[in-house]
Chains A and B, each alone.
Chain A
Amino acid sequence: MVANHDIHLSVRRGTVHALVGENGAGKSTLMKILYGMQKPDEGTIAVDGEQVSFSSPADAIARGIGMVHQHFMLADNLTVLENVVLGSEKLYGIGGNARKKIKEISDRYGLGIRPDALVEDLGVADRQRVEILKVLFRGAKTLILDEPTAVLVPQEVDALFDNLRELKSEGLSVIFISHKLGEVLSVADDITVIRRGTTVGTVIPSETTPRQLAELMVGSELPTPETAESTVTDQAVVTVKNLTVYAAGASLGELGAQPETATAGSAGATARGDVLDEATAPGAAKRVLDDVSFTIHAGEVMGIAGVEGNGQTELIDALIGTRHADSGAIEFLGEDITGWQTRKRRESGVGYIPEDRHRQGLLLESPLWENRILGHVTEKPNAKGFWLDIKGAQADTRRIVEEFDVRTPGIDVTAASLSGGNQQKLIVGREMSHNPKFLIAAHPTRGVDVGAQAQIWDRIREARREGLAVLLISADLDELIGLSDTLRVIFDGRLVADADPATITPEELGSAMTGAASGHLEHVDTAPEGNEGAAGPEDEAR
């Protein structure tokens, strides 16, 4: 295992042990070894002082090690109970016994799970708790959580952390993988930092600051997302007027909508729950985007804050053209593009960093140079007329790999073999290579390590200086505040509030995201600077 070498990690019972490191640093590999999905070439693993060797996840589970994956592995059309017993029917059967056990675990750790709820009706946070319960149900004493907060909003993160504290007070151990140093500091008892496949140190939260931790992680100067001076011009690039989109179910026979509603992940979940509620009320279909209007100027980054599933996905889809507006208009550089196809929009200068790079941004099993063609197949250097220009595309892929520091041994490897951060750098490089005038950046640094994050921010800022208009959608409030020139809050399909990124705090933004505040958000200087011990999850490293 050259992806990992000289890893030393010891987790004490009844603690939360955080594992932080850049993407591609080897965290995932390490976790796979601990969970029996991969075998180490050298070195040993000991559980309770006893040396063990795992050849499959089943071995790991038998030793009390359970894993909660970043991408949930639940069957939407089954109930919580069915999901939990699936694959371990032998433990407590599939009926009353299992239900009792689930209730017992749920009560004991304060998970608040109803065994008979359908998973498709659950929100992201609930699904995550089901995943945790699944692991506990199988008798895990050590839980591995892979970036559990990536899909949660601040309030949900707090609830998760309460759960984790509950778990450790009951004597369980938790290995917690995260990029968000503020979170790590607030919940972990020990923190181990991994860099370039090796452990560079273990620290105790009370003796360290986010900054020190981040420097340990990157091994160099730290990035901040702050944009220095305003570059906003008065030239409107994108104008959206009264954009309204109805829920997918409303328009029949939507071929394109099929894969979208089948999203196993986060965004669809809450939206679908809402649709169910709406369905009981007679009358109009649910408006997933309701009368949205805004203008983005050249050189402006407009950030959209909001809890996932409040219309962001639909807004992106409507702007890129994979879903058409039911009413309203989209203007791009003075032209009405509402009826344009996606390809025409992209050709005319709309760049797109999709929210789910695996599903929308990449062909995972295709080589990097084919991924470089994706989305720009009609444009130079990828095509000459009707024909593909393979040489041109390959040469340009090499340039992107070089310029955007995509770490890969070559351009013929499949996209799937790159780490998440490097995949994202390739996408950013691809989109920036066509000199977009308008960039839709959805979670541009999600699941990306600190180093790559800084590079991506730099690229966006650079292009913004040259007059790029950016729509930034992110769950990372610090990123939103730091990078945006203007901020809007989306709630239930409507833009309910706006704020000045220069003064607003993540907490204030967070409360608007739950619909508690609307209109123009003014920063109120009440509490003294939030330097108290309870560093919230919003406290990002800088």
Chain B
Amino acid sequence: MKKFDKERLLLALAGPVIALVLAIALTSIVLLASNRNPFEPYALMLQQLPYSDIQVLIINQAAMYYIAAIAVALGFRMNLFNIGVDGQYRLAAVMTAVVGANVGLPAFLQIPMLLLVAMLTGAFWAGIAGVLKVTRGVSEVVSTIMLNAIATSVIGYVTLSDVWGVQVGNNMTTGVMKKSGWFPGINLGSDVGEIYGMVFVAIALGIGYWIVLNRTRFGFDLRATGASESAAAASGVDAKRMVLVSMLISGAVSGLAGLPLLLGDSHTYSLDFPAGLGFTAIGIALLGRNNPGGIAFAALLWAFLDKASPALDYATPVAYEKEIATIMQGLIVFSVVISYEAVRQWGLRRQQRQVGAELAAAAAQNTKKEVAA
């Protein structure tokens, strides 16, 4: 039945392609409405792509998006909306930075320890929402959003100068981490930049995600719960345990999301550490259909829009606002939701028809044979 496989691939691709085409068309309409050239910004952004320093920036940024989106996707696969990735990764990053600045082990111990600290912090923060849902029935959407706000306050406290904060000029940091905790990357020269070592950790995470979901009993239970909670319960999945476990895993993964930057470049948590990654990741996971390959593509696309758009501000002869990229990202999320649902329903109907047709054809053949006999 290779035919159905091919068809499923086609359907899987149709959703994102339609969404992107729709988003580009809508962006062009916005450009037209503001009396701008509806196509030139795309060309300008694409012209950035051949520069290797931009490529490195894109890859590094995409790695962070990727990890965060995998964390979101894990929840999505079982209908759990972990909106709290944002708080989880920031809190994890700050804790890792503090531990990294105050504990100095040899590198082969320091780096695994820091990764563990980040994962435990993320898991702990997500676990609070998990426990609340399991014991009190609190919606994880509400609790994780609230935990995001609490995380911001906790970070503010941790970075106070009489706690662990270190003032550097105008900036509050957590102090520079010990050198042994710097994750080695691939240095491509001073004018190009360095690819974070964590990029490979992100790739490994993607592979691990796929294997766990598609090849293990646990993954099957998780997907079954996402596909139909009632069917999963009847099949013997313990819903509460599943909620808690997947929340913990999702939190552990999101704890890693800030580390490419922290361990690869900044080596300290400061006020300008990027925030909002967790929300961007929701859109990326959506666009990537919770599929590790799709998420990689979506993360790269997002990072490309992020890193290529500043060039719009300096374009000659006509400069464009770099916010065009933000508009586009918003429109992508918007069209993704519509196109996926449309494609899904269309695909289901189409397959029902095809199955009906094949069965009828087989039945017709049988009767012919009977007549012949």
Report B76 CB to chain A, min CB distance, Å: 15
Contact flags B322-351 to A (C-beta < 8 A → 1, else 0): 000000000000000000000010001001
A11 in the interface, Cβ–Cβ < 8 Å? Answer: no
Report B135 CB to chain A, min CB distance, Å: 6
Q: Which residue of B5, B220, B236, B243 is within 8 Å of A255 (Cβ)?
A: B243
Report A356 CB to chain B, min CB distance, Å: 8
Asked whether, in the complex, the Cβ of B227 is within 8 Å of the Cβ of A363, the reply is yes
Q: How far is the CA of A344 from the CA of B223 in the complex (A)?
A: 20
Q: How far is the CA of A367 from the CA of B354 in the complex (A)?
A: 15
Residues on A with C-beta less than 8 A from B238 are 341-343
Q: Which residue of B133, B216, B236, B359 is within 8 Å of A346 (Cβ)?
A: B236
Report B98 CB to chain A, min CB distance, Å: 36
User: For chain B residues 345-372, which have a beta carbon within 8 Å of chain A?
Assistant: 348, 351-363, 367
Report B226 CB to chain A, min CB distance, Å: 9
Report A367 CB to chain B, min CB distance, Å: 8
- The verdict on A196 contacting B360 (CB below 8 Å), with A343-B237, A413-B355 known, is yes
Q: Which of A390, A412, A416, A418 has the most CB of B within 10 A?
A: A412
Asked whether, in the complex, the Cβ of A255 is within 8 Å of the Cβ of B239, the reply is yes
Q: Which residue of B220, B233, B351 is within 8 Å of A417 (Cβ)?
A: B351
A29 in the interface, Cβ–Cβ < 8 Å? Answer: yes
Report B243 CB to chain A, min CB distance, Å: 7
Chain B binding surface SS class: helix
Q: How far is the CA of A344 from the CA of B235 in the complex (A)?
A: 10
Q: How far is the CA of A5 from the CA of B235 in the complex (A)?
A: 39
Q: How far is the CA of A163 from the CA of B245 in the complex (A)?
A: 53
B234 in the interface, Cβ–Cβ < 8 Å? Answer: yes
Q: How far is the CA of A376 from the CA of B236 in the complex (A)?
A: 8
Contact flags A409-438 to B (C-beta < 8 A → 1, else 0): 111111011100000000000000000000
Residues on B with C-beta less than 8 A from A255 are 133-134, 137, 239-240, 243
A526 in the interface, Cβ–Cβ < 8 Å? Answer: no
Residues on B with C-beta less than 8 A from A366 are 223, 227
Residues on B with C-beta less than 8 A from A347 are 236
- The verdict on A412 contacting B348 (CB below 8 Å), with A2-B356, A386-B216 known, is no
Report B249 CB to chain A, min CB distance, Å: 15
Q: How far is the CA of A516 from the CA of B2 in the complex (A)?
A: 58
A-B contact count (CB 8 A): 143
Q: Which of A2, A321, A411 has the most CB of B within 10 A?
A: A2
Asked whether, in the complex, the Cβ of A377 is within 8 Å of the Cβ of B228, the reply is no
A383 in the interface, Cβ–Cβ < 8 Å? Answer: yes
- The verdict on A416 contacting B352 (CB below 8 Å), with A363-B231, A364-B228, A387-B217 known, is yes
Residues on A with C-beta less than 8 A from B218 are 386
Interface residue count on the A side (C-beta < 8 Å): 58
Asked whether, in the complex, the Cβ of B137 is within 8 Å of the Cβ of A253, the reply is yes
- The verdict on A418 contacting B216 (CB below 8 Å), with A196-B363, A343-B236 known, is no
A135 in the interface, Cβ–Cβ < 8 Å? Answer: no
For A374, the closest partner residue in chain B by CB is B235
Q: How far is the CA of A409 from the CA of B219 in the complex (A)?
A: 27
Asked whether, in the complex, the Cβ of B360 is within 8 Å of the Cβ of A342, the reply is no
Q: Which residue of B1, B214, B361 is within 8 Å of A413 (Cβ)?
A: B1
Contact flags A468-506 to B (C-beta < 8 A → 1, else 0): 000000000000000000000000000000000000000
Q: In the complex, which range does the number of interface residues on chain B fall in? A: 35 or more
B230 in the interface, Cβ–Cβ < 8 Å? Answer: yes
Q: Which of B5, B134, B236 has the most CB of A within 10 A?
A: B236
A51 in the interface, Cβ–Cβ < 8 Å? Answer: no
Report A385 CB to chain B, min CB distance, Å: 9
Q: How far is the CA of A67 from the CA of B231 in the complex (A)?
A: 29
Asked whether, in the complex, the Cβ of B236 is within 8 Å of the Cβ of A342, the reply is yes
Q: Which of A255, A367, A370 has the most CB of B within 10 A?
A: A255
Contact flags B229-261 to A (C-beta < 8 A → 1, else 0): 111011111111001000000000000000000
Q: How far is the CA of A5 from the CA of B135 in the complex (A)?
A: 56
Q: How far is the CA of A373 from the CA of B135 in the complex (A)?
A: 29
B108 in the interface, Cβ–Cβ < 8 Å? Answer: no
Q: How far is the CA of A153 from the CA of B143 in the complex (A)?
A: 45
For A362, the closest partner residue in chain B by CB is B231
Asked whether, in the complex, the Cβ of A359 is within 8 Å of the Cβ of B230, the reply is yes
Q: Which residue of A2, A256, A320 is within 8 Å of B357 (Cβ)?
A: A2
A352 in the interface, Cβ–Cβ < 8 Å? Answer: yes
B51 in the interface, Cβ–Cβ < 8 Å? Answer: no
Q: How far is the CA of A256 from the CA of B215 in the complex (A)?
A: 26
Residues on B with C-beta less than 8 A from A346 are 235-236
Residues on A with C-beta less than 8 A from B4 are 367, 410, 412-413
User: For chain A residues 373-415, which have a beta carbon within 8 Å of chain B?
Assistant: 373-378, 383, 386-388, 390, 407-414
Q: How far is the CA of A49 from the CA of B20 in the complex (A)?
A: 48
Report A387 CB to chain B, min CB distance, Å: 6
- The verdict on A409 contacting B217 (CB below 8 Å), with A359-B231, A360-B230, A361-B234 known, is no
A295 in the interface, Cβ–Cβ < 8 Å? Answer: no
Residues on A with C-beta less than 8 A from B348 are 365, 414, 416-417
For A393, the closest partner residue in chain B by CB is B220
Contact flags B200-229 to A (C-beta < 8 A → 1, else 0): 000000000000001111111101100111
For B367, the closest partner residue in chain A by CB is A196
Q: How far is the CA of A345 from the CA of B238 in the complex (A)?
A: 12
Contact flags A255-273 to B (C-beta < 8 A → 1, else 0): 1101110000000000000
Report B84 CB to chain A, min CB distance, Å: 19
For A316, the closest partner residue in chain B by CB is B234
Asked whether, in the complex, the Cβ of A378 is within 8 Å of the Cβ of B359, the reply is no
A24 in the interface, Cβ–Cβ < 8 Å? Answer: yes
User: For chain A residues 1-21, which have a beta carbon within 8 Å of chain B?
Assistant: 2-3, 5
Residues on A with C-beta less than 8 A from B5 are 412
Asked whether, in the complex, the Cβ of A383 is within 8 Å of the Cβ of B351, the reply is no
A182 in the interface, Cβ–Cβ < 8 Å? Answer: no
Q: How far is the CA of A259 from the CA of B234 in the complex (A)?
A: 12
Report A493 CB to chain B, min CB distance, Å: 21
User: For chain B residues 1-34, which have a beta carbon within 8 Å of chain A?
Assistant: 1, 4-5, 8
Asked whether, in the complex, the Cβ of B230 is within 8 Å of the Cβ of A253, the reply is no
Q: How far is the CA of A3 from the CA of B362 in the complex (A)?
A: 11
Q: How far is the CA of A386 from the CA of B351 in the complex (A)?
A: 33
Residues on B with C-beta less than 8 A from A414 are 348, 351
Residues on A with C-beta less than 8 A from B219 are 388
- The verdict on A365 contacting B227 (CB below 8 Å), with A256-B240, A387-B216, A409-B359 known, is yes
For B351, the closest partner residue in chain A by CB is A417
Q: Which residue of A362, A409, A411 is within 8 Å of B358 (Cβ)?
A: A409
A354 in the interface, Cβ–Cβ < 8 Å? Answer: yes
Report A242 CB to chain B, min CB distance, Å: 25
Asked whether, in the complex, the Cβ of B361 is within 8 Å of the Cβ of A2, the reply is yes
Q: How far is the CA of A71 from the CA of B91 in the complex (A)?
A: 48
- Taking A256-B233, A364-B228, A417-B348 as given, write out 7 further A-B residue pairs in contact, using a Cβ cutoff of 8 Å, ordered by the A residue number: A253-B135, A253-B136, A256-B239, A342-B233, A352-B234, A376-B235, A408-B355
Chain A residues at the B interface, C-beta cutoff of 8 Å: 2-3, 5, 24, 29, 196-197, 253, 255-256, 258-260, 320-322, 341-347, 352, 354, 356, 359-367, 370, 373-378, 383, 386-388, 390, 407-414, 416-418
- What are the 9 A-B residue pairs with the smallest beta carbon separation, nearest first? A343-B236, A410-B1, A3-B356, A375-B235, A409-B358, A360-B234, A2-B357, A342-B236, A417-B355
Of the A-B pairs whose beta carbons lie under 8 Å apart in the complex, a sample of 23, sorted by A's number, is A2-B361, A197-B360, A255-B134, A255-B239, A255-B240, A259-B230, A320-B234, A322-B234, A346-B236, A347-B236, A362-B228, A363-B231, A365-B344, A375-B236, A377-B220, A377-B221, A378-B217, A386-B216, A387-B216, A410-B1, A412-B8, A414-B348, A417-B348
